[in-house]
Amino acid sequence: MAIRKLLALSRRPLLLSGRSASTAAALASHDAAELSTSPASPPVMHYDRLVQAVRSKIRSLDDPDPRFLRYASPHPALADHTSILAAPETRVTTLSNGLRIATESTLAARTATVGVWIDAGSRFETEDTNGTAHFLEHMIFKGTESRTVRQLEEEIENMGGHLNAYTTREQTTYYANVLDKDVPKALEILADILQNSRFDEKQIERERNVILREMEEVEGQTEEVIFDHLHATAFQHTSLGRTILGPAQNIKTITKEHLRKYISSHYTSPRMVISAAGAVKHDDIVEQVKKLFMKLSDNPTTTTQLIETEPAIFTGSEVRIIDDDIPLAKFAVAFSGASWTDPDSIALMVMQSMLGSWNKNAHGGKHAGSELTQRIAINDIAESMMAFNTNYKDTGLFGVYAVAKPDCLDDLAYAIMGEISKLSYRVSEADVTRARNQLKSSVQLHMDGTSPVAEDIGRQLLTYGRRIPVTELFARIDAVDANTVKRVANRFIFDQDVALAAMGPIQGLPDYNWFRRHTYLLRY
């Protein structure tokens, strides 16, 4: 009986100085914690608070808001492109003088594009003649021995056609879009302007002012200026670093003799491709070209031989133009890329798709497949961003161009370099598959029309020596996997020099050494 009474008393709540048992337990645990710890920790210093703030910012960039990432792009799947690979055959004929004729016939088409693609551009000029290729592009439409300017323009407009031209650093193109029945006439006009242009002195003087005004317009396009400066600093002291338009002093001094000499030395049949796409017949084009293009020089000097005498050497460097009158800061950071024929050029194209592009005006981006786009869109640290991959005969440029507010440059640079460097370490197969699908789709979408097809034929014959079938191109794209991306990134990105061009209120943009340090990651 005494034992039962003692047990009953033990089950009653124990009161200590008017406190409940739970309060007592809490005090006991607090006392035990104080006894088990070391002496009181020192107060948090100002520097420690700064470190914590920086770490918090880094975590917010590395781990974006999960509310958005929860609905990010779904896991991509390999796409079957069998139905769109039945492309028409590209037929190529090489004449005895080295002139190549390439066509792609589309029976259902009622229009056609025919043009001349020339392996010549601003890269093959000297410092004194820089700008001649572009000047010649203007002068080629200013009349021939048999046609005045007015006759030439009326002839093109009366047939409802469009005659156009453009000059790049390595190629010059003249092409016409016409109806199927006007293809022979368009080809005859192209042959006339390329072989029989008069280069009247009055027209030359008039075009000087036109090109100088064009230069002023280009200088107002910040993106064009940024990429010109990027080439100038990346390939400094080489011909690839010069602009296409050339300096104003050269434009004022180019003469008729300069133009004729440039044509005789660069507009040669081995360096030219006649390309046609749409409602054309290959045999008819070949027969007409044999009759029309008889005055071309057959100088065997190739662009490869010219490049060997003055190769483009990449130099890690930067150019910064501080201009507080511009509201937004714009910059491009680039690595030395691959040439057209480099085996890794396709992998760089996939990597460009992985980085992606984004514009604030287009909305979206928070659910994009590109992690760089997600970081920029979620944290609102840029106005626009674009990854680029430019190929040349012996080199290239791979990087990112971005536009941002001045107070966002630090975070934006951190995000860009972090995602670029991550390609050397951590790449998922899902991201690569998504990028491959996007690249293949963009290739197909770009080929919508006779002009892009004719351009693709002409460019590939000048760069590869042949037209790469879509089936082969897709097979090479599908061969790129996560391991390939990491290998190529370690070749072109990991611990490699960068070229940087920036303009605007860029005081907040990190310095060159910061960008160079962020080409690799320190992992412990």
The set of catalytic residues is: 137, 207
Of the candidates 87, 112, 91, the residue with the CA atom closest to the CA atom of residue 103? 91
Q: Where are the beta strands (DSSP E) in 14-118?
A: 90-94, 100-105, 111-118
Within 10 Å of residue 84's Cβ, how many Cβ atoms?
Answer: 14
Residue 242 near residue 82, CB atoms below 8 Å: no
Compute the distance between CA of residue 346 and CA of residue 478 in angstroms, rounded to an integer: 10
Q: How far apart are CA 428 and CA 426, in angstroms?
A: 7
Question: Rounded distance, CA 315 to CA 90, Å?
Answer: 39
CA-nearest of 496, 367, 473 to 423 is: 496
Alpha carbon 301 to its chain's center: 30
- The residue written with tokens 């990087």 in the block is 399
Does the CA dihedral 319-323-324-330 come out positive or negative?
A: negative
Strand order across the 396-404 sheet: 317-322, 499-504, 329-336, 396-404, 384-391, 357-359
- Residue 486's contacts (CB-CB under 8 Å, 6 or more residues apart) are 423, 424, 425, 427
Amino acid residing at 231: H
Question: How far apart are the C-alpha atoms of 140 and 165, rounded to whole Å?
Answer: 9
- Euclidean distance between CA atoms 433 and 442, whole angstroms: 14
